[in-house]
Amino acid sequence: MRTLVVVGNGMVSHRLVEALRAEDTEGAWRVVVLAEEPRPAYDRVALTSYVDGWDVQALTLSGSDYAGDDLVELRLGDPVTSVDRAAKKATTASGHVQAYDALVLATGSRPFVPPVPGHDLPGCFVYRTIEDLDAIRAAVEHAKATKRGRAAAMVVGGGLLGLEAAKALRDMGLSPHVVEMAPRLMPIQVDDGGGRLLRKLVTDLDLTVHTGTSAEKIEQDGDRLFTKLTNGTELDLDLVVFSAGVRPRDDLARSSGLAVGERGGIITDLACRTSDPDIWAVGECAAVEGRCYGLVAPGYTMAEIVAAQLLGRAGEFPGTDLSTKLKLMGVDVASFGDAHATTENSVEVVLSDAVGGYYKKLVVSEEDADGKRLLLGGVLVGDASAYNLLRPLVGSPLPADPAAMLGPEGGSSVVGVDALPDEAQICSCNAVSKGAITSAIHDEGCDSVAKIKGCTKAGTTCGSCVPMLAKLLDACGVEQSKALCEHFAYSRQELFQILSATRITTFGELIAKHGTGAGCEICKPAVASILATLDTTDRDGGHVLAGEQATLQDTNDHFLANMQRNGTYSVVPRIPGGEITPAKLKVIAEVAEEFGLYTKITGGQRIDLFGATVDQLPHIWRRLVDAGMESGHAYGKSLRTVKSCVGSTWCRYGVQDSVGLAVELELRYRGLRSPHKLKAGVSGCARECAEARGKDFGVIATEKGWNLYVGGNGGALPRHAELLASDLDKDTLITYIDRFLMFYVRAADRLQRTAPWIEEMDGGLDHLRAVIVDDKLGICEELDAAMAKHVENYADEWRGVLEDPEKLARFTSFVNAPGTPDPTISFRAEREQKVPVLLGVPEVVSR
């Protein structure tokens, strides 16, 4: 077995190890990753999102700890300091010596700090790693705690990284100044026209922009900093962040005698091999035939090329698509191809509307003899909906008038995916062409977006190409079944409309008129959920255990409690916003003690009581209901919790009453039956202690009001919520949440969380915003009325059972022997509480 040593542990390094291990079925290589940072590889592209929740795990790349893989060794926090090429050994800072048969340098890049006098003073930072952001956060907290008014910061650099840093500082509650030496923001990606609009849009979002100037000096001024710009502007600051580009980290290569470029970077050939045939370089440190690439997509390509060579296959770097599409503080920016019209005899087609907030430019060739023009490139600011269609067409004849392709719907109204050539790159992150995707559809039987993702990796990184995958399925004639199950040929959305329009009130009537058979465990709970939703919004009320409804529910809903692994149930009373009185806490403690229940505080700021038998449930509910509590719906596909921090009531950083709003929202949306569970959070400031950006809908306080985020979730595939609207007053905020939830209830698939629902929506977040903010579909009045009816008709499901003898009769362990304990249920003591004894499971005693 041969040993591969990988120096560096970033995204590209991880892709290399991932690709090698996936293909090395014979176990020919043992991999040793020598990392400088103290943690497994994380998504550095999404570094700014770390500010949203300060959750390292949310950024950590899946599988980057290589747990369970005996052929991968990961050494963290121990960087390589030297390489002995003759002996084929790498030595780390701790003195560890690692022999290798092949070595890959994936050392990345370092931030460029302009030689400004005072750049190394306390309060000056770079913006590159999680540690950098942690240091910035500490400085921000100190500044906000020791001064009155809003703290100020300067970001040196107005490119992509600089604006990302400015966004992070703004989200932390500072007033950022962005200083860019070029005459416009993002000078590499956008032109003058796009730069002017971008400046206007980010200025409207509370950034102060200084272009065509630079920092002349930085000086200490008491406990603050003072800087003077070359245009004479003077700024009083609390901190400075340098985010003015990067430089390849080639120091190790230089000291090892490898060839490096005149302007930096480790020289490699097209196979990514350095001047030493046993050493490769990939990612931002590599200068492939003299050129460095500062994007992750070409780094991924290099990683896969090297993995192929290590396994005896050929591979060469094919060049890369440097197109960029991003969202900065809610502003869409995209550039592709020859964005600056440097091609000889090229012409520009521009559609600009500063009032409407968009700038669109195409660069095209002059007409050929057949009257055709080639698409050469473009710039999109404010509205980048045309990007997915236009970028793959670069270098190809335009299938329609250029101006028409910049119109509404991003050109899709005049040309479809059929016009794209097979070599058009649909997924730039993973270099997947249209031809590769259509081949997967036709030859590999990929008949869904999920299968295409698994087969080709398209759509698995940034996700912006996912709508194109669905369109390619349609173009290939693949009928994507919307059937809920074998008993209904309709989707959940269509069944919702049928039930709403026909006013059918039972599953039996629905399946008799619109389905086949007797139903199953898929359609019965789904229809039950729809009926429950309609009962509280469009009809006169009802209970989930009323009549036929009871027979449709799954086990948890049937008993209004969560079944646990030993056959007992847990009881979770609602604690709105996490706020609870001592009297209610006392009742919960008494109930837990009286019924011998295991108690645990959940991540959603509630108290879970475990170990109740079926016959005990009504008695427990009675005690809780009499004390003023109600069902927390922990068992249902409905709103679970609205988590909150203590906000401005107690916290010195809080700018709004997060607890009060969380309580109001939880009481408003309690009992709302939905396609999947719903979780929410309200944070009283940008410190985000309620982790609102990890919820289906999250609210973060600003000095002007509230920011609303939607489409986040935890679980196996965690997602960060995206900003839907900013600085809202409370009434507008609640209106938008009402519409968002009702639209989701009516339009999502069965068991589909809000994150994938938005991702798979044609137009994504922009379409969602158009529907619930701009009323694009003309349904907002209907959504508002539906939510008002839900709020009006809400009734506690526990109380509904307690007040109905027929429903109460369901809650017995044995129908023929009520009150008899179940002999299969037993417990043992652990940490002073009882826990279940499971048959066939070895007992582990914890002390």
Q: Residue 97 is which amino acid?
A: V
446 known ligand binder: no
Distance from C-alpha of 670 to C-alpha of 632, rounded to nearest angstrom: 8
Residue 689 counted as an annotated binding residue: yes
Distance CA 107, CA 250 (A): 7
| Calpha distance 774→235 (Å, rounded) | 39
Furthest C-alpha separation in the chain: 91
685 marked among binding-site residues = yes
Burial of 78 by CB count in 10 Å (0-12 exposed, 13-18 middle, 19+ buried)?
Answer: middle
Q: In what order do the strands lie in the sheet with 124-126?
A: 124-126, 239-242, 152-156, 175-180, 208-211
* Residue 22 near residue 313 (C-beta atoms within 8 A): no
464 close to 432: Cβ distance less than 8 angstroms: no
Q: Which is it for strands 215-221 and 224-229: parallel, antiparallel or unpaired?
A: antiparallel
Are 628 and 580 in contact by the 8 Å Cβ rule? The answer is no
Q: What are the two backbone dihedrals, phi and then psi, of residue 268, each rounded to the nearest 5 degrees?
A: -135, 165
Residues 729, 731, 733, 738, Cα dihedral to 10°: 180
Give Cβ neighbours of residue 498 (< 8 Å, ≥ 6 apart). Answer: 490, 504, 510, 514
- Euclidean distance between the first and the last CA atom of the chain, given in angstroms as a whole number: 43
Phi, psi at residue 776, to the nearest 5°?
A: -60, -35
> Which amino acid is located at 58 in the chain?
A
Angle at CA of residue 771, ends 769 and 772, nearest 5°: 70
Distance of alpha carbon 332 from alpha carbon 380, whole angstroms: 8
Distances (CA, A) of 502 to 119, 323, 461, 482, 509: 70, 50, 43, 20, 11
Q: Token match 């703290």: residue? A: 151
- Tell me which residue of 381, 402, 246, 243 sits closest to 325, measured CA to CA: 381
CA 401 to chain centre: 36
Phi-psi region of 707 (alpha: psi -120 to 50; beta: other; left: phi over 0): beta
DSSP 380: E
Tokens coding 703: 């000095």
Is 651 annotated in a binding site? The answer is yes
Known binding-site residues for [4Fe-4S] cluster equal: 645, 651, 685, 689
Known binding-site residues for siroheme equal: 689
Known binding-site residues equal: 645, 651, 685, 689
